[in-house]
Amino acid sequence: MTERREFAAPADAPRLDLLVAAQLDVSRNQAATLIANGRVLVNGRRERASYRATANELVVVSIPDPPAREVSGEQIPLRIVFEDDDCLVIDKPAGMVVHPAPGNWTGTLVNALKGRGTSLSSGSAAEREGIVHRLDKETSGLLLVAKTDRAHRVLGAALQARRIVRRYAVLSWGHVTDDRLTIERPIARDPRDRKRMAVVSSGRPARTDLTRLARFDSADLLRAHLHTGRTHQIRVHLASIGHPVVGDDTYGGGGGRKLFGLPPRRHFLHAAWLVFRHPVSGETIDLRSPLPEDLHRALVEAAAPDVDLSNANPLESFGFFDADP
């Protein structure tokens, strides 16, 4: 089934291929191909890739389904924290990619789910069966999976309506300006480096609420609440205010990784709290994940010598869960 996306062009819209690339989170070449194939209309008419839309012109994009690719099951251990006939929640380890894609066709969460014989919803493509939302490869924590198409529709609508609560534990470099902070800046592919995301005026709206739970010598422990789920959102937003996630090589936070004893390619970002209404029963499901051992050790290093966290659940100690879900 073809997906339809539409949006109003901003007043400072770039050329059409860049605008479509930013809005759809695709490469410029992919956007140009959609335009050349007549799948992009501006106020109902076809335009060239170089066209610059005027303010509030309606851009409609018809996105064809990608060709299906069979995904094989693999015997990969998973930590399941909730499961019934309709959905399940994984506590994903750092280093695991969520679904197959170019460069990562094996070893993913979807491969592991298929390997255990889990029934999965059809999803948006064969490679993304069951996936309601994603976590970055090096981000650990709670991830929701749909086992039926009905559950996927209900959970997807709840996610879109911001009724699924997702809160992350973050260690950021330096000190943010206030104990409570909202970052609301649009995000899209970085026009200078397509492997990165960036704050871009023509990007998709993104909002992150931050609460400082502790201030250490060189870093802050934050609770991040996602209102939207853009690629790399927390990482990009924190980098945009000069306080990147500790250990994040991509966005400028990796230089002092050794200070806190983080392993290579690991950043301090953990999806620690997930609250949602069950797609069938309507029951509230409230799930919490403690910090993995590597992040626990890093937090102990960050807090030393002022706070002893060696024998405590550090997130509870700092009031991470002391908020209305």
- Which residues belong to the active site? 136
Euclidean distance between CA atoms 158 and 175, whole angstroms: 34
- DSSP per-residue letters across 246-259: TT-TTTT--TTGGG
**CA nearest to 38, candidates 2, 13, 85:** 2
21 contacts 30 by C-beta, under 8 angstroms = yes
315 contacts 322 by C-beta, under 8 angstroms = no
CA 310 to chain CA mean position, Å: 30
Q: Residue 53, exposed/middle/buried by CB under 10 A (0-12, 13-18, 19+)? A: buried
Strands 269-277, 219-226: parallel, antiparallel or unpaired by DSSP? unpaired
First to last CA, the chain: 35
